[in-house]
Amino acid sequence: MQIIKEEPGVVADRINFLLRDAVDNPAPALRVNSDGLILEYNMKVSSSKQGKFFEKVAEFTKNNS
């Protein structure tokens, strides 16, 4: 099991901030990779185009055992 470095409230605030301008088609996705939680979302970059963005919203602590 991985442990997140940040407090849950901080992670939730980051996600809310990033989803402010995200479009819902396709729906944003929260993914887990080897070092943290990644938010994948689309956002309008001009009047007719969307861009895909990947933001790390939380890092996992390193396990030194």
Q: Is residue 38 part of a domain?
A: yes
Q: In the chain, how many domains are there?
A: 1
On whether residue 1 sits in a domain, the answer given is no
Q: Residue 64's pLDDT is what?
A: 66
Can you give the residue range of the structural domain that contains 23?
A: 8-59
**Residue 19 covered by a domain:** yes
Residues of the chain with pLDDT under 70: 64-65
> What token pair was written down for 6?
């940040």
Bridge partners (DSSP) of residue 44 are: 50
pLDDT at 14: 94
Task: Enumerate residues 6+ apart whose C-beta is below 8 A from 3.
Answer: 60, 61
Q: Has residue 65 been placed in a domain?
A: no
pLDDT of residue 43: 92
2 within a domain of the structure (yes/no): no
Does residue 45 form part of some domain? Answer: yes
Say if residues 36 and 55 touch (Cβ distance below 8 Å). no
Maximal CA-CA distance, the chain: 51
Q: Which long-range CB contacts under 8 A does 6-10 form with residues at least 24 apart?
A: 6/58, 6/59
